[in-house]
Amino acid sequence: MIRATPDQINPDERTELREQVIAWRRWLHQHPELSFQEHETANFVEARLREMPSLAVTRPTATSVLAVLRGEAGPGRTVLLRADMDALPIQEENTFEFASRNPGVMHACGHDGHTAMLLGAAQVLSGDPGRLCGEVRFIFQHAEELFPGGAQQVVDAGVMDGVDVVVGTHLMSPIPTGMIVLREGPLLAASDRFDITLQGKGGHGASPHETVDPVVIAAQVILAFQTVISRQRDPLEPGVLTVAQIHGGTAGNVIPDTVTLGGTVRTFDPQLREQMPQRMEKLVRGITEGYGATYTLNYQRGYRALHNDPGTTAILREVVRETLGSRVTLHEGKPNMGGEDFSAYLTKAPGTFILIGAGNVEQGITAPHHHPRFTVDERALDHGVELYVAAARRLAQPLA
Ligand code: NI
């Protein structure tokens, strides 16, 4: 006879729950909304949470939803579980019947799955508060994909006040289903962005000597930027400087007045992050001055680097072994230069961000994140639900 350990969901409950979570995910997938515009999504989530017992449901911001559950097994800690809910400006190319019904908008990062998993966890935990100490808060966060991000707004609204520990997850198509990445320390980079306007003096393409050509200046700036990473940064310290946009000119025989550049800077080390804009500006200033042009540099700090708390991560590793057992394999993974606004929660309390494998080569689930054919292996949703449930029950226990 198989006996459920205290942290496990019992097997009968599991099948019904699995179908429910998949149905929620598919509804969300069909109805994607862009960052800061998740009105229908938030209404859907709020309605589901209001059907569950024992939850106090509020809206910290216009399109985020918070549910609070008090445990009945005695005092303990306050745990925040987080899912993000926003979609991307991408035209979906998947042809399954639950493909996006909103033209040009698509859940291409798995946030539909995150939302469904956290709803599943809320259902399990609210159905049995006698097995829970302390307090669990479920935050369904808006706008992870678009700076300044929903996480900071939710933190500013007080959602983290009194929280002892925080857990977030991300489904990952490059990681096979059944693999879970729990990493202590640095996981995701700080992501900043910049826009530069190079102001020259336009004119006839046949008379460059009468112009200040911003196209040539842009070329110099882009090449000079390569040396910020290759010659000015400690090679053992991760860093990326990408110029991803260049716009200028209207015709082959017209030198334009201006060229604009845009890009992103990714770092882990706070000092390197601090130094990047000055280093870039020095080069832009020198180059434009040398050519008789001027510039504006707009540098925006984005999400902070994400560092997982070693203690929380170690506890969760144990929890995953006990609850998911042989159904999953655990990996430590490597840091990645991607960014996540989950780091905003980690400025208020320790916590950990877990990557859940959701790829499946045999089923053709291989498209990368933010791709028009992105999807997830729905078996991974089970792992997410169980992980959230087990993490909440364990982390809410009072510290020994
Ligand atoms: Ni994402």
DSSP per position, 68-118: EEE-SS----EEEEEEE--BBS------STTS-SSTT-B--SSHHHHHHHH
Give the length of the chain.
Answer: 400
d(CA 321, CA 330) in angstroms, rounded, equals 8
Q: Are 29 and 99 in contact (CB under 8 A)?
A: yes
Q: Are 36 and 61 in contact (CB under 8 A)?
A: no
User: What separation in Å is there between the alpha carbon of 123 and the centre of ligand 1?
Assistant: 23
Angle at 319 between CA 317 and CA 320, to 5 degrees: 65
Q: Are 91 and 103 in contact (CB under 8 A)?
A: yes
**pLDDT (tens place) for every residue of the chain, 400 residues total:** 344 455 566 777 788 999 999 999 999 999 999 999 999 999 999 999 999 999 999 999 999 999 999 999 999 999 999 999 999 999 999 999 999 999 999 999 999 999 999 999 999 999 999 999 999 999 999 999 998 999 999 999 999 999 999 999 999 999 999 999 999 999 999 999 999 999 999 999 999 999 999 999 999 999 999 999 999 999 999 999 999 999 999 999 999 999 999 999 999 999 999 999 999 999 999 999 999 999 999 999 999 999 999 999 999 999 999 999 999 999 999 999 999 999 999 999 999 999 999 999 999 999 999 999 999 999 999 999 999 999 999 999 998 7
**Interstrand relation of 294-303 and 190-199 (parallel, antiparallel or unpaired):** antiparallel
Please give the distance of CA 154 from its chain centroid, rounded to a whole number: 14
Return the pLDDT at 345: 98
User: What separation in Å is there between the alpha carbon of 333 and the centre of ligand 1?
Assistant: 17
d(CA 187, CA 353) in angstroms, rounded, equals 8
The structural domains of the chain, ordered by start, are 11-187+305-395 (3.40.630.10), 190-303 (3.30.70.360)
Q: Distance of CA 291 to CAs 8, 101, 200, 212, 225, Å?
A: 68, 51, 9, 7, 17
DSSP state of 396: T
3-state secondary structure of 356: strand
For helices 270-291 and 214-231, angle between their N-to-C axes, nearest 10 degrees:
150
d(CA 80, CA 89) in angstroms, rounded, equals 29
Cis peptide before 148 (omega within 30 of 0): yes
Q: Is 289 noted as a catalytic residue in this protein?
A: no
Task: Tell me the helices (H) and strands (E) count for the chain, helix number first.
Answer: 8, 16
User: What separation in Å is there between the alpha carbon of 297 and the centre of ligand 1?
Assistant: 28
Return the pLDDT at 141: 98
pTM across the whole model? 0.91
User: What separation in Å is there between the alpha carbon of 375 and the centre of ligand 1?
Assistant: 12
Task: Give the alpha-carbon dihedral of 381, 387, 393, 394, to 10 degrees.
Answer: 180
User: What separation in Å is there between the alpha carbon of 303 and the centre of ligand 1?
Assistant: 13
User: What separation in Å is there between the alpha carbon of 144 and the centre of ligand 1?
Assistant: 7
Q: Are 153 and 160 in contact (CB under 8 A)?
A: no
User: What separation in Å is there between the alpha carbon of 88 and the centre of ligand 1?
Assistant: 10
Q: Distance of CA 313 to CAs 54, 186, 283, Å?
A: 29, 12, 41
Render 137-173 in DSSP notation, one character per residue: EEEEE--SSSTT-HHHHHHHTTTTTT--EEEEEEEEE
User: What separation in Å is there between the alpha carbon of 86 and the centre of ligand 1?
Assistant: 9
User: What separation in Å is there between the alpha carbon of 78 and the centre of ligand 1?
Assistant: 25
The CA R_g of the chain, rounded to the nearest whole Å, is 24
DSSP state of 336: B
d(CA 275, CA 280) in angstroms, rounded, equals 9
Of 33, 84, 86, 378, which is the active-site residue? Answer: 86
Q: Is 86 noted as a catalytic residue in this protein?
A: yes
Of 135, 144, 257, 340, which is the active-site residue? Answer: 144
Return the pLDDT at 2: 44
User: What separation in Å is there between the alpha carbon of 110 and the centre of ligand 1?
Assistant: 6
User: What separation in Å is there between the alpha carbon of 170 and the centre of ligand 1?
Assistant: 7
User: What separation in Å is there between the alpha carbon of 275 and the centre of ligand 1?
Assistant: 28
> What amino acid is encoded at 195 in this protein?
D
**CA proximity to 205, closest of 248, 260, 243:** 248
User: What separation in Å is there between the alpha carbon of 109 and the centre of ligand 1?
Assistant: 5
200-206 contacts, C-beta under 8 A, 24 or more apart: 200/255, 200/256, 200/257, 200/258, 200/259, 200/291, 200/293, 201/257, 201/293, 202/254, 202/255, 202/256, 202/257, 203/254, 203/255, 204/253, 204/254, 204/255, 205/251, 205/252, 205/253, 205/254, 205/255, 206/253
Alpha-carbon dihedral sign for residues 88, 350, 4, 74: negative
Return the pLDDT at 14: 81
Return the pLDDT at 7: 56
